[in-house]
C-alpha cells in the first residue's frame, strides 16, 4: 500500500509538472530551464538565470563536485516562477505557508516574482540538490552535514551578513553551554512540529561544524571526506579517518569549541 501511495504522489507530481510547463513561457541556459508566468518580464527571468548559473559554478567549484551526469539538455534543473504569491499558492505543489519550495529528486525549484531573500533561498537549495546528487543515497548521512553545507554556501556567497551573525551566535551558544553534544547531532532528524528554538540551535550548530571543518582543515580535506561519503562509507567514521587530529566525537567537539572561542 505504501508503495502505491508513493507512486501516486510521484505520478501526480509529474503530471502537475507537465501541465505547468505547458502553460508557462520558457527561458533556457546551460544548466537551467526557467518556466515562468507570461506576465513576468524577460529581463527579470534573465536575472534569475544569471544568479542560478553563478551559484551552480560556485557550489561546484567550492566542493570540487564532478558529476557523472552533467546538468545539460534534458538533465537541466528547472525553476518555476509564478507572477505573485497567490498564483504560486494556486498553481504550484508547495505548502500554502511557504515562500518557495523544492522537489529534490526532480531538481525543480518553485518560487514567485520578487520573493524576499530569493538569492539566499536559491543558494541554499541548489547546495542541497548538488550535494545530495554528489554524495548519493547514503542513508547514514547525518542531517547536520546536509544542512550545514547548505547554510555554509548561503551565508558565504548569498548573504555575508548571515555568516557574521552565525559566528556571533555560535560563540554565545558555546559560552552558555547551550549547544548539543556531537553524539546527539549525529542522530537528529527534525520533525515538522519541532521546537523553534531547538531548530534554530541545530541549524546554527550544523553550519558551525561544517564551517569549522572547512576553515580549520581546508577545502582539500573536506573534499576527501565527501568522497568517502559518496562511496557509501559511514560519515561519522570517515571524519575520524580523514582528519588526523580527530579520533572521536570528544576530540571533534573540543577542537570545534576552541576554534570559535579563540
Distance CA 99, CA 86 (A): 11
Q: What is the mean pLDDT of residues 207-229?
A: 96
Distance CA 57, CA 59 (A): 6
Q: What is the mean pLDDT of residues 227-247?
A: 94
Strand pairing category for 101-103 and 108-112 = antiparallel
pLDDT at 8: 39
Q: Nearest Cα to 127, choosing from 7, 182, 207, 212?
A: 207
Whether residue 151 contacts residue 221, with contact meaning beta carbons closer than 8 Å, is answered with: no
Mean pLDDT of the chain: 89
Whether residue 107 contacts residue 78, with contact meaning beta carbons closer than 8 Å, is answered with: yes
Q: Nearest Cα to 214, choosing from 239, 236, 249?
A: 239
Exposed / middle / buried, residue 176 (Cβ in 10 Å: 0-12, 13-18, 19+): exposed
Q: pTM for the whole thing?
A: 0.85
pLDDT at 17: 47
pLDDT by residue (tens digit) across 136-153? 887 789 999 999 999 999
Distance CA 36, CA 50 (A): 15
Span(s) in the chain for CATH 3.40.30.160: 2-135
Q: Does 6 have pLDDT greater than 50?
A: no
pLDDT by residue (tens digit) across 219-230? 999 999 999 999
pLDDT at 14: 47
Pick the CATH number of 2-135 from 3.30.300.30, 3.40.30.160, 3.60.20.10, 3.30.1700.10: 3.40.30.160
What is the arrangement of strands in the sheet containing 32-36, beginning at the earlier edge strand? 25-28, 32-36, 77-82, 108-112, 101-103
> Rounded to the nearest 10 degrees, how much is the dihedral formed by the CA atoms of 219, 221, 225, 230?
60
pLDDT at 69: 79
Residue 78, φ and ψ in degrees, nearest 5: -125, 140
pLDDT band, very low/low/confident/very high, at 262 (cuts 50, 70, 90): confident
Cell readout for 156 is: 558565504
Amino acid at each position: 500500500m505504501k508503495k502505491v501511495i508513493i507512486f501516486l504522489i510521484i505520478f501526480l507530481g509529474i503530471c502537475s509538472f507537465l501541465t505547468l510547463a505547458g502553460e508557462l513561457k520558457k527561458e533556457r541556459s546551460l544548466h537551467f530551464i526557467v518556466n515562468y508566468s507570461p506576465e513576468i518580464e524577460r529581463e527579470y527571468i534573465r536575472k534569475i538565470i544569471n544568479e542560478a548559473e553563478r551559484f551552480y559554478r560556485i557550489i561546484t567549484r567550492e566542493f570540487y563536485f564532478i558529476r557523472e551526469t552533467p546538468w545539460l539538455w534534458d538533465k537541466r534543473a528547472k525553476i518555476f516562477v509564478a507572477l505573485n504569491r497567490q498564483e504560486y499558492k494556486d498553481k504550484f505543489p508547495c505548502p500554502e505557508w511557504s515562500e518557495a519550495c523544492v522537489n529534490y529528486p526532480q531538481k525543480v525549484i518553485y518560487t514567485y516574482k520578487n520573493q524576499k531573500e530569493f538569492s539566499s533561498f536559491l543558494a541554499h537549495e541548489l547546495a542541497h540538490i548538488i550535494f545530495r546528487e554528489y554524495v548519493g543515497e547514503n542513508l547514514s548521512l547525518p542531517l547536520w552535514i546536509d544542512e550545514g553545507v547548505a547554510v555554509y554556501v548561503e551565508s558565504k556567497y548569498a548573504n555575508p551578513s548571515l555568516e557574521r551573525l552565525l559566528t556571533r551566535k555560535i560563540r554565545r551558544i558555546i559560552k552558555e553551554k547551550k549547544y548539543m553534544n556531537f553524539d546527539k547531532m549525529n542522530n537528529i532528524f527534525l520533525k515538522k512540529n519541532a521546537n523553534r528554538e531547538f531548530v534554530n540551535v541545530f541549524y546554527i550548530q550544523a553550519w558551525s561544524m561544517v564551517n569549522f571543518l572547512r576553515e580549520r582543515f581546508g577545502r582539500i580535506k573536506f573534499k576527501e571526506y565527501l568522497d568517502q561519503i559518496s562511496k557509501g562509507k559511514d560519515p561519522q567514521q570517515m571524519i575520524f579517518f580523514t582528519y588526523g587530529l580527530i579520533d572521536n566525537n570528544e576530540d571533534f567537539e573540543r577542537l570545534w569549541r576552541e576554534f570559535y572561542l579563540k
